[in-house]
């Protein structure tokens, strides 16, 4: 398992915590969630404190041993998977899982990077507050990983992505020093914003070990509706109407194609569509806020009534209970699982300005369909912030390997059109290795040079998650 020249005893003595070297113990840390990448590693280190992380990183820097930070290993871009050289240490942060502080007057919670997202949500809820970052992997992903990728999720429309929910960080630098930036301040203009450098950097500049996170008031009511629309343009019009009517209470606005719900039904037959009228597109809307549940229901029902009369919506249903709301959300949240059950997929995590979503989908559907007419289009995402998961499953009958061999060609078509519509090829999943080279094609030489200078300045030994984000 160990590369010749690495002293395993010295490595084990470099920090306090667990060091896994047996193949069976190491194996679970070498695959990504999608099973697209499998690497090798010297060992898996699980430090039990920030001081232990710092000691380990200092040893790795001195010995030029690469480090691959890993949280819950739920990423979709290969950003937490070691390469196949076997030269790296996987640094698993699962033992750094304490809630360090809860400051209700300040509206903050301080947690370690290995805390599971659901644990943070539950701690906030027990204190009568809300931590609103939420997505399908919340039961297994960690806060460190969410910040390292600047994860988005379903509440970005109202609360922002992970970056907007973080006030301060504790980071172990690439040379093994500890930067204590755990400042619980809303305003701090005392220098460069180092916090924002590390958030979204995918572990390539340093290792996030703790964070101060914003808490929000727990909403008095949460009301969910499901609506059928004929076109994506109608969904965009409904979003504009919802924003005008609901203002800050509009928490989520999710878009999904009919193909998505058909796929979910085939793998989760207990989940039923809330509306009877068949349609090409469906929208899930959530309102939440301090108003009573009755008041929120009235606002949402009035919105949908007007949309039905304007023929923007062709059918709609408002959940009448918490169980119904959960069932509506389950349709959206199980799309990725249902698609995964069909085998390997070609995924895109893209964003375009909301005003361009309908035009983009019309053009890209036509372009991809012309070249690959047998592909199954699985399109869904967070319409409220313009982030689409524009995915493809292989033909129902065909060679899965031949399908995946088309990935680079498909990416070129899709990503060229994303950029042409003013968008980005990575909205919330990170570049990892999946989109690293693609991103380099679209960034200007100036932008790439600035990024490489930052990398060199903050990781002079090149040990932090090599091969990710930057080639």
225 has which bridge partners? 285, 318
Domains in the chain (CATH in brackets) are 8-92 (3.30.43.10), 99-217 (3.30.465.10), 221-336 (3.30.70.2190), 342-430 (3.30.70.2740)
Give, in degrees to the nearest 5, the angle at Cα 389 between 374 and 163: 165
Tell me the residue length of the chain: 471
70 has which bridge partners? 92
213 within 8 A of 286, measured Cβ to Cβ: no
Report how far residue 340's alpha carbon sits from residue 358's, in angstroms, rounded to the nearest whole number.
26
Question: For 207-257, where are the alpha helices, taking DSSP H only?
Answer: 232-246
Highest mean pLDDT range out of 60-64, 165-169, 333-337? 165-169
What is the average pLDDT across 284-308?
A: 93
Handedness of CA 210, 212, 217, 222 (dihedral sign): negative
List the end-to-end C-alpha distance of the chain, in Å, as a whole number.
26
- How would you classify the pairing of strands 221-229 and 166-173? unpaired
Q: What is the pTM of this model?
A: 0.91
What is the average pLDDT across 433-439?
A: 89
pLDDT (tens digit per residue) in 238-253: 999 999 999 889 999 9
Is the pLDDT at 127 greater than 60? The verdict is yes
Q: Which of 460, 437, 432 is nearest to 82 (CA)?
A: 432
Per-residue pLDDT band for 5 (boundaries 50, 70, 90) equals: low
Handedness of CA 431, 436, 438, 442 (dihedral sign): positive
What is the model's pLDDT at position 36? 81
What is the average pLDDT across 412-421?
A: 97
pLDDT (tens digit per residue) in 332-351: 999 989 998 888 899 999 99
What is the model's pLDDT at position 397? 83
SS3 per residue for 11-27? HHCCCCEEEECCHHHHH
Distance of CA 279 to the CA centre of its chain: 28
What is the model's pLDDT at position 471? 74
Per-residue pLDDT band for 1 (boundaries 50, 70, 90) equals: very low
Report how far residue 163's alpha carbon sits from residue 222's, in angstroms, rounded to the nearest whole number.
24
91 within 8 A of 47, measured Cβ to Cβ: yes
Q: Which of 228, 244, 249, 205 is nearest to 308 (CA)?
A: 228
Per-residue pLDDT band for 199 (boundaries 50, 70, 90) equals: very high
Report how far residue 348's alpha carbon sits from residue 330's, in angstroms, rounded to the nearest whole number.
21
What is the model's pLDDT at position 398? 80
């Amino acid at each position: 398992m160990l590369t010749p020249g690495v002293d395993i005893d010295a490595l084990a003595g470099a920090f306090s915590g667990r060091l896994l070297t047996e193949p069976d113990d190491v194996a679970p840390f070498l695959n990504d969630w999608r099973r697209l990448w499998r690497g090798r590693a010297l060992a898996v280190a699980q430090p039990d404190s920030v001081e232990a992380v710092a000691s380990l990183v200092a040893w790795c820097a001195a010995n030029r041993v690469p480090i691959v930070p890993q949280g819950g290993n739920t990423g979709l871009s290969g950003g937490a998977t070691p390469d196949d050289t076997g030269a790296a240490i996987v640094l698993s942060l699962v033992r750094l899982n304490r809630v360090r502080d809860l400051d209700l007057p300040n509206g903050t919670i301080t947690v370690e990077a290995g805390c599971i997202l659901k644990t943070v949500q539950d701690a906030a809820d027990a204190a009568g507050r809300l931590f609103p970052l939420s997505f399908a992997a919340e039961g297994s992903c960690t806060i460190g990983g969410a910040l390292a990728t600047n994860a988005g999720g379903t509440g970005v429309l109202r609360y922002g992505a992970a970056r907007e929910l973080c006030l301060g960080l504790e980071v172990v630098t690439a040379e093994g020093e500890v930067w204590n930036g755990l400042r619980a301040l809303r305003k701090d203009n005392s220098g460069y914003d180092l916090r924002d450098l590390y958030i979204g950097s995918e572990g390539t500049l340093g290792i996030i070990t703790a964070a101060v996170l914003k808490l929000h008031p727990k909403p008095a009511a949460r009301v969910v509706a499901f609506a059928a629309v004929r076109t994506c343009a109608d969904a965009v019009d409904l979003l504009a109407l919802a924003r005008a009517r609901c203002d800050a209470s509009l928490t989520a606005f999710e878009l999904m194609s009919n193909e998505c719900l058909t796929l979910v039904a085939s793998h989760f037959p207990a989940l039923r569509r809330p509306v009877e009228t068949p349609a090409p597109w469906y929208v899930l809307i959530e309102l939440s806020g301090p108003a009573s549940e009755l008041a929120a229901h009235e606002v949402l029902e009035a919105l949908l009534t007007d949309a039905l009369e304007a023929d923007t919506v062709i059918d709609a249903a408002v959940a009448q209970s918490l169980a119904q709301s959960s069932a509506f959300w389950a349709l959206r949240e199980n799309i990725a699982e249902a698609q995964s059950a069909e085998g390997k997929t070609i995924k895109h995590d893209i964003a375009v300005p909301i005003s361009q979503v309908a035009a983009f989908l019309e053009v890209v559907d036509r372009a991809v369909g012309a070249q690959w007419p047998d592909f199954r289009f699985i399109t869904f995402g967070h319409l409220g912030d313009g982030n689409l998961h524009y995915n493809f499953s292989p033909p129902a009958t065909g060679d899965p390997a031949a399908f995946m061999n088309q990935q680079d060609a498909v990416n070129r078509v899709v990503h060229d059109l994303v950029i042409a519509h003013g968008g980005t090829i990575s909205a919330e999943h990170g570049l990892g290795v999946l989109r690293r080279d693609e991103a380099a094609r679209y960034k200007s030489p100036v932008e790439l040079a600035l990024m490489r200078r930052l990398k060199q300045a903050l990781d002079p030994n090149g040990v932090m998650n090599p091969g990710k984000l930057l080639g």
